[in-house]
């Protein structure tokens, strides 16, 4: 972040017509945003939501309540404007882009082979990097991929430590038997692909949409575009960056706490306090998109409010 | 609420392209909103934010960190578009109205007399009732009034039980000595105006802006306009309605948890779970206005999403 813009924003915050600290976390958000944008009085005018979709070979192990066809069906739903993320993007004035990633060629089943080849992994990272519009001023990365809470749990365990049971949850809604099967699958993946390299873990256990989100989050950093992280799957991808490069997520805030069981543990590991806690567990970037409203409100107050001097208000 | 609209919204919710329950609290909010609007597929297009301002005789007891002149100065700031609530209203597409209530004639100091005469109290209630635009589809009531956390604490204690220390907090930022003084003042008010009638407590211990908020919240109920409650002061006014008439706040949700210490206790007493927890303690309706975004997102998803049948998506 830009030190002069951060300082300028802090100074401005102290002069606005409100008691010190009365806007709570909105004040910290606005100053953080100003620093990353290099502008002490910024505006949010062009948010971008990108939804990456991928299919997962590990679905052959019976880890999801939904069939893999749903990934492609939901991509069509995104393209026709019918999904939750379409409504939220429109509500908060964000441009929304959808990237289906080789849906006819699922990743390999990670219990038997690395999910992606080096080439597939690099291509997904690059697609994510290139999907970020350099002119956007706030980024949300979302995903769709039947089976991807299984991949995300495996990536989280490999990257952040702990065992399969610590990270495996019910996803879109598996029953107890499904949860046990899913936990076993994650454990077998971890045993097969033991590595201390977080990006290698993302390649062997993740999926194309996770890799693409990681690429997009890294690109946003390059362009100084603040990011709102979504739920469990987005944060698993982000965790690989976090472990690979110290401070790699300093330009990101956690949009919400998902109802997926292990998301709180993941946010703790990332050192992020969620903006919203509304029990969402949909993915698509939905929780983060909802948090665009909070960021917009924070920045609008910071940049639009009068100072005590401008308004002729006594400052106590 | 309208039973047919509620049922219609529940049926629709079960057909939308998402796993059951995956939008968490947004689903409950949308169904609740649909019921009150009498429309199973509603939209939010015309929110209204009303800020009522009043002055408090009890300021003579040294209960605030700011002088009473600030109330009028902030009203001017509202009218010129320079306050936090102006920016938030604009961000979330709400019309904003400001009502200064006899600022040159503060209420009586409640440690020596009832804050308002019967006539003053009735006039403030009516002003609040009439301030609600019957065509609005979502209401936020906010306030400005130096000294009004003291009035709100006294009203809360009188209406909800407990003693002065349970409800008295730092407001805009009094120090330890100020807090002790404030608690003593609230205790003296409670001793002087012992009553089991919640509206009489609002008259004797409240203020014009609290009475006006109560009038507006009641009017919204009459017009079937859902309400987002703001922080400690708004909720104190609402608490008087809650105690006066069972279910009087069924058309209202809690917008946020304020940093004012006793707000959690108050929300517990009202049986309301806040939508946001961001440490705001500004008043003006700011926390509730920020929550307009959450309501808009909830209703947009509910009414705009495709059903499984419409989108050709397998429902598991």
Of the candidates B226, B296, B235, B115, the one whose C-alpha atom is nearest the C-alpha of residue A90 is: B296
Please say if the pLDDT value at position A9 is more than 90. yes
Rounded distance, CA B201 to CA B214, Å?
A: 13
pLDDT value of position B316: 59
Structure tokens at A236: 């698993």
For B294, the closest of A69, A281, A290 (CB atoms) is A290
The verdict on whether B120 is a catalytic residue reads no
Edge-to-edge, what's the strand order for the sheet holding B227-229? B95-100, B47-53, B138-144, B227-229, B252-254
For B314, the closest of A70, A88, A275 (CB atoms) is A70
Rounded distance, CA B174 to CA B180, Å?
A: 10
pLDDT value of position A171: 86
SS3 A38: coil
Rounded distance, CA B163 to CA B82, Å?
A: 37
Structure tokens at A243: 């472990």
pLDDT beneath 50, residues of chain B: none
Rounded distance, CA A255 to CA A243, Å?
A: 20
The alpha-carbon gap from B47 to the nearest alpha carbon of chain A, in Å, equals: 14
pLDDT value of position A172: 82
Q: What is the pLDDT of residues A236-278, one digit of tens each?
A: 999 999 999 999 999 999 999 999 999 999 999 999 999 999 9
Contacts of A274 in chain B (CB under 8 A): none
Q: What is the pLDDT of residues B94-107, one digit of tens each?
A: 999 999 999 999 99
Q: What is the pLDDT of residues A174-204, one digit of tens each?
A: 899 999 999 999 999 999 999 999 999 999 9
Q: How many residues does chain B have?
A: 316
The alpha-carbon gap from B144 to the nearest alpha carbon of chain A, in Å, equals: 11
Please say if the pLDDT value at position A59 is more than 90. yes
The alpha-carbon gap from B206 to the nearest alpha carbon of chain A, in Å, equals: 22
Q: What is the pLDDT of residues B257-272, one digit of tens each?
A: 999 999 999 999 999 9
The alpha-carbon gap from B86 to the nearest alpha carbon of chain A, in Å, equals: 8
Confidence grade of residue A164 (pLDDT, cut at 50, 70, 90): very high
The alpha-carbon gap from A202 to the nearest alpha carbon of chain B, in Å, equals: 26
For B87, the closest of A67, A275, A305 (CB atoms) is A305
pLDDT value of position B237: 98
Structure tokens at B155: 């009203």
Q: What is the pLDDT of residues A78-106, one digit of tens each?
A: 999 999 999 999 999 999 999 999 999 99
Contact B19 A282 (CB under 8 A): yes
SS3 A137: coil
Contacts of A312 in chain B (CB under 8 A): 73, 76
ipTM of the complex: 0.97
The span from the first CA to the last CA of chain A, in angstroms, equals 32
For B22, the closest of A18, A276, A281 (CB atoms) is A281
To test the contact with chain A by mutation, choose from B256, B293, B302 the residue with the greatest count of A C-beta atoms within 10 A, namely: B293
Burial of B62 (0-12, 13-18, 19+ CB in 10 A): middle
Of the candidates B112, B71, B299, the one whose C-alpha atom is nearest the C-alpha of residue A87 is: B299
To test the contact with chain B by mutation, choose from A87, A170, A288, A302 the residue with the greatest count of B C-beta atoms within 10 A, namely: A87
Rounded distance, CA B307 to CA B285, Å?
A: 36
Please say if the pLDDT value at position A315 is more than 80. no
**Nearby residues of B125 by Cβ (< 8 Å), 6 or more positions away:** B211, B212, B214, B215, B218
For A87, the closest of B81, B90, B304 (CB atoms) is B304
Of the candidates B247, B238, B305, the one whose C-alpha atom is nearest the C-alpha of residue B36 is: B247
pLDDT value of position A316: 59
Please say if the pLDDT value at position A24 is more than 70. yes
Edge-to-edge, what's the strand order for the sheet holding A138-144? A95-100, A47-53, A138-144, A227-229, A252-254
Contacts of B276 in chain A (CB under 8 A): 276, 294
Active-site positions of A read 284
Q: Using CA of residue A55, residue A60, residue A65, residue A69, what is the dihedral sign?
A: positive
Query: Of all residues in chain A, what percent carry a pLDDT higher than 70?
Result: 100
Rounded distance, CA A188 to CA A57, Å?
A: 14
Contacts of B73 in chain A (CB under 8 A): 311-314
Q: What is the DSSP letter of B260?
A: S
Question: What are φ and ψ of residue A95, in 5° steps?
Answer: -70, 140
SS3 B135: coil
Q: What is the mean pLDDT of residues A122-126?
A: 98
Q: Is-contact A143 A285, C-beta < 8 A? A: yes
pLDDT value of position A65: 85
Degrees to nearest 5, angle at CA B36 with B121 and B260: 50
Calculate the alpha carbon distances from A218 to A57, A127, B116, B240 in Å: 26, 12, 60, 52
**DSSP secondary structure letters along B23-67:** TTHHHHHHHHHHHHHT-SS-----EEEEEEE---GGGGG---SS-
Contacts of A290 in chain B (CB under 8 A): 26, 293-294, 297
Contact A304 B86 (CB under 8 A): yes
**Nearby residues of A271 by Cβ (< 8 Å), 6 or more positions away:** none
Other C-beta atoms within 10 Å of B231: how many?
A: 31
């Amino acid at each position: 972040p830009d030190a002069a813009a951060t300082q300028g924003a802090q100074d401005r915050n102290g002069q606005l017509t409100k008691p010190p600290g009365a806007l709570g976390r909105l004040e910290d958000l606005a100053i953080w945003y100003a620093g990353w944008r290099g502008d002490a009085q910024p505006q949010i005018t062009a948010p971008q939501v990108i939804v990456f979709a991928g299919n997962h070979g590990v679905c052959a192990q019976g880890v999801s309540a939904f069939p893999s066809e749903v990934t492609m069906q939901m991509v069509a739903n995104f393209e026709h404007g019918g999904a939750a993320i379409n409504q939220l993007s429109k509500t908060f004035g964000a441009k929304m882009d959808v990237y289906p990633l080789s849906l006819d060629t699922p990743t390999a089943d990670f219990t038997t082979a690395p999910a992606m080849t080096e080439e597939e992994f690099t291509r997904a990272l690059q697609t994510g990097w290139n999907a970020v519009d350099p002119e956007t001023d706030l980024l949300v990365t979302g995903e769709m991929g039947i089976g991807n809470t299984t991949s995300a749990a495996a990536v989280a365990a490999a990257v952040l430590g702990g065992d399969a049971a610590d990270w495996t949850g019910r996803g879109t809604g598996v029953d107890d038997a499904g949860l046990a099967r899913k936990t076993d699958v994650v454990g077998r993946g971890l045993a097969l692909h033991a590595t201390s390299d977080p990006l290698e873990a993302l390649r062997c256990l993740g999926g194309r949409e996770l890799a693409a989100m990681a690429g997009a989050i890294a690109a946003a950093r390059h362009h100084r575009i603040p990011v709102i992280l979504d739920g469990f799957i987005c944060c698993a991808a982000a965790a690989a960056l976090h472990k690979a490069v110290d401070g790699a997520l300093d330009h990101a805030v956690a949009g919400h706490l998902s109802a997926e069981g292990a998301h709180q543990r993941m946010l703790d590991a990332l050192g992020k306090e969620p903006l919203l806690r509304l029990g969402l567990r949909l993915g698509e970037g939905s929780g983060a998109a909802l948090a665009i409203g909070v960021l917009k409100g924070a920045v609008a107050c910071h940049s639009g409010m009068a100072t005590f001097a401008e308004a002729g208000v006594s400052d106590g």
